[in-house]
């Protein structure tokens, strides 16, 4: 084997160096340190499974990644370890040398990609993001939310059960596997929060806490307000008051929502998410809640608040009485009219 390798190496050097071993070796060394034709940091090189060394040479040549790609086989003969290439999607970078490129293919260190699932968005929004994310195998196309929920092992609707986060993946990852990670994270977080919740909450199950958390998520994006928003809903549930929260109406309207809640929408008894009409909680979560909203639902502030309204500066004004609430509403309207 050693003798055969020596013969191959000798022949390669003779072909390149015109018979001079020193010149031939030096020439190959120069080639291995040559910079490739890469201009951006996000250039990808996809090496398909089963690609032969000959096919790799052709792929590199057709991609115009380097000059003299035909010399690659001679590098393999000088260093056989460089021929142990692995299929994958690799990120190239400017100033990468030929040797660095080959070592990357041998390492199998595929490029990592990221998909971000934003809190407060709905299942349909996340599925749309996932279906348009590159380098993912799309297996869920055409499947309903209920079908996807069953694939994930969710006993009920999909909404609310996926944890907002940025998820890392490699090329050709299955879309369902990314969602499984999001579901397992939410399931774990919800159980931990439920087990450590305050003792006097009006929730009958972790799922009811998840519903409240989703409403909190839609009502405020200010971290310091979450516990106060949660206290309003908890106080209303304890007092047998309707929740009267606009995001639930909007969710129930679906595609029929045009940007404004009409008076008829507030009295619509056909909308199961109309919390101005129904008693207690809506039937499902209305968005994907963050861990912060889960914690707020489990540990609401100790207040007597029953109302809140936007204050015109990005936050909310909280009130314990209807008269104070009306004053806050009038103040908000005055600010809006002046703007």
pLDDT digits (tens, 9 = 90+) for 156-178: 999 999 999 999 999 889 999 99
Examine the domain organization and report whether 258 and 300 are in the same domain: yes
The reported pLDDT for the residue numbered 29 is 85
Domain final position from 81, 107, 133: 107
Domain range for 177 is 114-190
Examine the domain organization and report whether 328 and 207 are in the same domain: yes
Nearest alpha carbon to residue 281 among 217, 204, 186, 195: 204
Residues pairing with 91 in the sheet: 44
Give the total residue count for the chain. Answer: 339
The reported pLDDT for the residue numbered 5 is 44
The reported pLDDT for the residue numbered 316 is 95
Examine the domain organization and report whether 120 and 68 are in the same domain: no
Q: Is the pLDDT of residue 36 over 50?
A: yes
**pLDDT tens by residue, 188-229:** 999 999 999 999 999 999 999 999 999 999 999 899 999 999
Q: What is the mean pLDDT of residues 314-337?
A: 91
The reported pLDDT for the residue numbered 21 is 43
Domain count across the chain: 3
338: pLDDT confidence band, cut at 50, 70 and 90? Answer: confident
| Alpha-carbon span 47 to 169, nearest angstrom | 17
Domain final position from 87, 107, 127: 107
Measured CA distances, 309 to 35, 44, 61, 201, 218 (Å): 61, 50, 64, 23, 13
Examine the domain organization and report whether 334 and 209 are in the same domain: yes
Is 51:87 a contact under the CB 8 Å cutoff? yes
Cα 245–chain centre separation: 28
The reported pLDDT for the residue numbered 239 is 97
**pLDDT tens by residue, 45-88:** 999 989 998 999 999 999 999 988 989 988 888 888 888 999 99
| pLDDT over 90 percentage in the chain | 72
| Alpha-carbon span 85 to 95, nearest angstrom | 21
Examine the domain organization and report whether 100 and 136 are in the same domain: no
Nearest alpha carbon to residue 329 among 305, 312, 304: 312
Q: What is the mean pLDDT of residues 105-116?
A: 92
The reported pLDDT for the residue numbered 42 is 79
Q: Phi and psi of 308, rounded to 5°?
A: -155, 155
Examine the domain organization and report whether 203 and 334 are in the same domain: yes
pTM of the model: 0.83
The reported pLDDT for the residue numbered 114 is 94
Examine the domain organization and report whether 327 and 201 are in the same domain: yes
Straight-line distance from the first to the last Cα atom of the chain, in angstroms, rounded to the nearest whole number: 84
Q: Is the pLDDT of residue 322 over 70?
A: yes
**pLDDT tens by residue, 259-314:** 999 999 999 999 999 999 999 999 999 999 999 999 999 999 999 999 999 998 88
Question: Hunting for tokens 């749309």 — which residue is that?
Answer: 128
Q: What is the signed CA dihedral for 153, 233, 275, 186, rounded to 10 degrees?
A: -10
Cβ neighbourhood burial of 336 (10 Å; 0-12, 13-18, 19+): exposed
Examine the domain organization and report whether 81 and 65 are in the same domain: yes
Examine the domain organization and report whether 171 and 185 are in the same domain: yes
Examine the domain organization and report whether 210 and 296 are in the same domain: yes
Examine the domain organization and report whether 82 and 134 are in the same domain: no
Examine the domain organization and report whether 241 and 255 are in the same domain: yes
Domain final position from 107, 133, 152: 107
């Amino acid at each position: 084997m050693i003798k055969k390798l020596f013969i191959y190496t000798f022949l390669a050097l003779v072909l390149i160096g015109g018979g001079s071993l020193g010149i031939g070796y030096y020439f190959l060394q120069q080639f291995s340190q040559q910079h490739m034709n890469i201009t951006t940091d996000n250039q990808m090189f996809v090496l398909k499974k089963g690609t032969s060394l000959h096919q790799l040479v052709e792929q590199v040549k057709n991609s115009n990644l380097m000059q003299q790609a035909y010399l690659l086989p001679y590098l393999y003969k000088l260093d056989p370890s460089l021929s142990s290439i692995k299929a994958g999607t690799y990120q190239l970078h400017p100033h990468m040398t030929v040797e660095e490129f080959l070592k990357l293919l041998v390492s199998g260190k595929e490029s990592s990609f990221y998909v971000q699932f934003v809190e407060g968005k709905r299942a349909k929004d996340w599925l749309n993001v996932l279906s348009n994310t590159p380098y993912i195998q799309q297996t869920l196309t055409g499947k309903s939310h209920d079908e996807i929920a069953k694939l994930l092992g969710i006993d009920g609707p999909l909404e609310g059960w996926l944890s907002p986060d940025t998820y890392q993946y490699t090329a050709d990852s299955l879309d369902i596997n990314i969602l499984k990670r999001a579901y397992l994270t939410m399931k774990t977080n919800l159980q931990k929060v439920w087990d450590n919740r305050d003792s006097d909450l009006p929730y009958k199950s972790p799922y009811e806490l998840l519903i409240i958390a989703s409403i909190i998520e839609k009502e405020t994006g200010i971290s310091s307000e979450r516990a106060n928003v949660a206290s309003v809903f908890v106080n209303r549930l304890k007092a047998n008051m309707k929740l009267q929260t606009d995001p639930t109406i909007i969710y129930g309207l679906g595609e029929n929502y045009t940007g404004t809640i009409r008076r008829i929408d507030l009295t619509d008894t056909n909308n199961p998410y109309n919390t101005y009409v129904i008693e207690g909680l809506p039937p499902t979560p209305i968005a994907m809640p963050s861990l912060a909203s889960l914690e707020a639902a489990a540990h609401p502030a100790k207040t007597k608040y029953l109302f809140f309204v936007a204050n015109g500066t990005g936050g909310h004004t909280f009130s314990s009485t209807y008269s104070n609430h009306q004053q806050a509403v009038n103040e908000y309207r005055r600010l809006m009219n002046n703007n």
